[in-house]
Amino acid sequence: MEECISTLKRLDDMLASLRQELNDLTQNAELATSGSTSARTASDEIDNAKERRSRQPDYTVVQRDLDITKARRLVGARESAVKSVKSLLSKKRMMSASTGTEAEG
């Protein structure tokens, strides 16, 4: 059970990082296409980090109930979410790269 919980926490951290990267990439692409030079401030970054930390799931109920089936199901869901966000990141990067190439040419 401890292994499932630690895996869940690791996957949650990875997923939050990937989602932030996707968000940053999306915002950068929007800024590039709109021609705007505004950027997020440091306080915006701090607020986003605090929000991400406050949304960390609490697995004490799963751990207390020793619900290994639910824990494994959650691990599978997190792995699937990580895979989906990685796929979106890859597509977004390819779109950014092709847009950058077209702008240069």
Secondary structure of residue 4 in the 3-state scheme: helix
Using CA atoms, how far apart are residues 47 and 38, in angstroms rounded to an integer? 18
Token code pair at residue 14: 């990875």
Contact 63, 5 (CB under 8 A): yes
Distance CA 39, CA 21 (A): 15
The per-residue pLDDT for 9 is 92
- Each residue's pLDDT, cut to its tens digit, for the chain (105 residues) gives 889 989 999 999 999 999 999 998 888 877 766 654 444 554 455 556 556 555 778 787 777 787 888 889 999 999 999 999 999 999 988 887 777 655 554
Q: What is the pLDDT of residue 68?
A: 86
* Unique residue bearing structure tokens 């991400």: 52
How confident is the model at residue 35, as a pLDDT?
58
CB under 8 Å to 21, separation ≥6 — which residues?
89
Extract the tokens encoding 92. Answer: 């977004």
Q: How many residues does the chain have?
A: 105
The DSSP call for residue 39 is -
